[in-house]
Amino acid sequence: MNELRVADAITEIFNIFRRCNKYIDETMPWSLAKDEAQKDRLATVLYNLVEAITIGASLLESFMPDTSKKILAQLHAQKRALSEMDQFGLYPSGEHVTDAPEILFARMDIKEVMEKVEAMRAAEKAAAPAAEEAKEEEPVIDIEPKAEIEYDDFAKLQFQVGEIIACEAVKKSKKLLCSQVKIGSQVKQIVSGIKAHYSPEEMVGKKVMVVVNLKPAKLAGVLSEGMLLCAEDADGNLSLMVPEKKMPSGAEIC
């Protein structure tokens, strides 16, 4: 318990019950019961089983209290204290186990289980349309369309995944951040107007989508060699566009 090895503890407890099963196979009490001369041996075998199961059930109480109580009740046994676990033979000699044993873990009928599963699926399917209707429709934004372009115009743009390895605020600017973006084996300096939405510390380590072949330009006196792609909502909030899956720096966006 001190090492939080709960699963290992339960495994060791059930090893007691597994050993009891093996003990039954080894001693064959059903065979001993047929021979009057083996009466004392049969009594010893049954006592050993009851004593071992009592110890196992007592240890199980911390994990499965209801099951532990049921086992002990059927054996007419008292729960053992932890300090008594190193003693074998405390079960009162001559005591009788229950005449009406109860199955602790009944085997499930697969047909009955599948009927319940199908009933659950039908209930979920029936509830699905209602849930869809109740779901609030996600807002959308319509913007003024720009003039159509040819594919060749679009193909001139080069989009790649970049990793931001350093970022700082641009001095004398309330809006600009200057990021060092690793794109493949190159590092480009990109200035972006996202200071109101991201801190320099938040930017470092992000994988972002970059337009890498824009003609370099100076913003607030700082050279910018590309553009970070962002999405903007109706309130002007910006969100960097990032790859859905893990992608290496330099991966082409196509």
pLDDT in tens, 225-250: 999 999 999 899 999 999 999 999 99
Q: Which domains does the chain show, CATH number per domain? A: 1-118 (1.10.730.10), 151-253 (2.40.50.140)
Amino acid identity for residue 41 in this structure: R
CA gap 57, 45 in Å, rounded: 18
Sign of CA dihedral 216, 218, 223, 228: negative
pLDDT top residue among 249 and 141:
249
Average pLDDT over residues 67-86: 93
Query: Nearest Cα to 206, choosing from 228, 184, 188, 223?
Result: 228
Q: What letter represents residue 85's amino acid?
A: M
Give the confidence band of 133 by pLDDT, cuts at 50, 70, 90.
low
With bands split at pLDDT 50, 70 and 90, how would you rate the model's confidence at 136? low
**How many Cβ atoms are within 10 Å of 119's Cβ, its own excluded?**
10
Residue 72 and residue 54 in contact, taking contact as beta carbons nearer than 8 Å: yes
Q: List, in sequence order, every residue forming a beta bridge with 49; answer none if it has no partner.
A: none
Tokens for 132, please give them: 């869809």
Rounded alpha-carbon distances, angstroms, from residue 159 to 53, 166, 229 = 69, 20, 9
Closest CA to 241 of 164, 188, 180, 137: 164
